[in-house]
């Protein structure tokens, strides 16, 4: 997997771009207007698996039972995005939740994301994030809860990372 500084779209849920203040400001404005909750994750605080999962958990305000591993992130993202009552995170039960129609995760300094880990770690994290954007149908055929949109924007400020 390559984390490139070039502007690109990876599917409908992931965008990559060289950082630009004007673009960042415009994205924040559009997210607000559309009722999308925007969270910022500092990539330079995400160089290791442990640090990345902690930073994501903090930025997303995941509940105390979040286990800081990929399975826990996957589960908590699905729960966070359930908005049957119109609020992100209300399913956690320890909060009212945020009135929002979706979630945008902006990772700044994305070239640092899992930079101290083997390339497979970045691929695994991207897979978990993609599942949040495109949840699988319930294996038991139960009705799916209404979920908010989920998008990720990776802003790079330095050199490319080839993985």
Print the domain residue range for 101: 2-136+145-162
Q: Are 15 and 155 in contact (CB under 8 A)?
A: no
Model pLDDT for residues 113-123, shown as the tens digit of each residue: 999 999 999 99
Model pLDDT for residues 23-47, shown as the tens digit of each residue: 999 999 999 999 999 999 999 999 9
Please provide the size of the chain in residues: 163
Position 161 pLDDT exceeds 90: no
β-strands 36-42, 149-156 pairing: unpaired
Q: 């998008």: which residue's tokens?
A: 151
* pLDDT for position 5: 39
Instruction: Please report the sign of the dihedral spanned by the C-alpha atoms of residue 38, residue 42, residue 47, residue 49.
Output: negative
CATH of the domain at 33: 3.30.370.10
β-strands 2-3, 8-10 pairing: unpaired
Q: 């945020």: which residue's tokens?
A: 98
Give the DSSP H/E element, type plus range, for residue 87. strand 87-88
Q: Are 114 and 125 in contact (CB under 8 A)?
A: yes
Q: Rounded CA gap, 49 and 124, in Å?
A: 11
Q: What angle do CA 117, 54, 113 make, to 5 degrees?
A: 35
Question: Between 146 and 2, whose confidence is greater?
Answer: 146
Mean pLDDT for 45-60 is 98
The model's confidence at residue 136, banded by pLDDT at 50, 70 and 90, is: confident
Tell me what the pLDDT averaged over the chain comes to. Answer: 88
Number of domains in the chain: 1
């Amino acid at each position: 997997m390559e984390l490139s500084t070039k502007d690109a779209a990876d599917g409908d849920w992931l965008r990559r771009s060289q950082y630009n203040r004007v673009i960042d400001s415009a994205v924040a404005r559009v997210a607000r207007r559309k009722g999308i909750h925007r969270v910022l994750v500092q990539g330079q605080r995400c160089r290791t698996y442990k640090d990345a999962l902690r930073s994501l958990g903090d930025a997303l305000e995941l509940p105390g039972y979040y286990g800081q591993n990929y399975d826990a992130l996957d589960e908590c993202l699905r729960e966070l995005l359930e908005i049957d009552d119109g609020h992100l995170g209300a399913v956690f039960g320890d909060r009212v939740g945020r009135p929002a129609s979706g979630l945008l995760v902006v990772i700044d300094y994305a070239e640092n994301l899992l930079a101290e880990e083997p390339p497979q770690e970045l691929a695994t994290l991207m897979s978990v994030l993609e599942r949040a954007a495109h949840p699988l149908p319930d294996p038991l055929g139960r009705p799916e809860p209404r979920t908010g949109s989920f998008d990720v924007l990776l802003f790079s400020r330095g050199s490319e990372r080839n993985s």
